[in-house]
Amino acid sequence: MTELAWWMLSPSPFTLAFYAACSLYGAWKIRRIYGDSYKRLKFLTALTDAVFMFGFLVVLLDSIWIIICGLRFGWVFPNSVPQLLASLFRNAMILALCYLYAHRYLQARATDKTFLMIVVNVAFMAVWFAVSPSPAWTDWTYAFRNGYSWATVITSFFVSHVVGKTLVGLTFLTYWR
Burial-class residue 74 by CB neighbours within 10 Å (0-12, 13-18, 19+).
Answer: middle
Residue 5 in domain: no
Q: Is the per-residue pLDDT at 172 higher than 90?
A: yes
**pLDDT tens for residues 41-82?**
888 888 999 999 999 999 999 999 989 988 998 888 888 888
Task: Show the domain range for 96.
Answer: 10-176
What CA–CA distance (Å, rounded) separates 143 from 81?
Answer: 19
Residue 152 in domain: yes
Residue 1 in domain: no
What CA–CA distance (Å, rounded) separates 139 from 62?
Answer: 13
Residue 2 in domain: no
Residue 170 in domain: yes
Count of structural domains within the chain: 1
Task: State the pLDDT at residue 9.
Answer: 59
**pLDDT tens for residues 97-149?**
999 998 888 888 888 999 999 999 999 999 999 999 888 888 888 888 888 99
Contacts of 103 (CB under 8 A, 6+ apart): none
- Whether 46 and 15 have beta carbons less than 8 Å apart is answered as no
Residue 68 in domain: yes
Task: State the pLDDT at residue 35.
Answer: 75
